Structure 1
């Protein structure tokens, strides 16, 4: 997989975000925390050379992201109010999930306004470790840090779907291509450890699929 010129930031609200909303917007209907844990907003950023540079880029644009998150969860009417929030507040209100492996299924990235994220399940990680051990590759070929990175920095598929109900038909049609893409990302040099994935059900056993209906461009 070729390195991308872009990276995706997914904002996952924390309990502090609910506290912030209830403090800043007393008359608003605050959503339940569980509602904030699905279909998180994803933002497109130019790829940075270091974590420090990326954090600087986030700080430069955090107000726009904060305003969008408030508008998304409380409605258009609430955003007219000025936001009394610092970058530290923003850091407390959201957990960052960064993805650098992008597969484009639209004519250009700017045409994409939705995305699908594919991540390996624990069952896949255990299978990889067991197969490496059985083939005498050594215990240090894949470190725990690499496993964590594989699970957190999943492959992003930039693909617009008419509705969330079209997600499963798309996955049933493309599951094997998605499987190969993920395995190439993780284990391109040891293809002999790849498990057999002969059905959509087997794909679901080994991979988590997350759908994000909002992919916003901050470039």
Structure 2
């Protein structure tokens, strides 16, 4: 049964925007691109993921993430409330299903910014979704970005770099690849793919 947020009219299925998934290795600049894009086009709805990770300085519950403990996350999984979920660098991340479906039903462009494992799960459950891979200009640049953050311990950075090699090898699984040489250019290309003008 289709669910429509109160006060909105359902949009015919053929007129609805497709779900767009943005993925790529840690440190490639996904969050930066999305933040820039949403400044220019705030109507693009970005799903806020649930995570068991502790907030970084400046992050707020419900804005960057829905910060939950392991028990709460277990309940979300058990109740089928996540469209996808994955474990990464010792923490779990997941996309709340209902909010995504409601926004798509209302005809809003929806963007998920998730990891490779999550993108694969979305492809299984929603084959019509558009998967976009964000690639770094080079491996050296990705290493520089990850180590330059200064927010994580060396062992965490090493895990992220190991995962990045796997993620880069999966680029062919995506519908489109955008190379992050310029945040503004990539944001513009992503908006065009999402048919947001």
> Does the alignment reach a TM-score above 0.5?
no
Who wins on radius of gyration, i.e. which is larger? 1
More helix by share: 1
The TM-score range, normalised by the shorter chain, is under 0.3
TM score, norm. by length of structure 2: 0.26
TM score, norm. by length of structure 1: 0.24
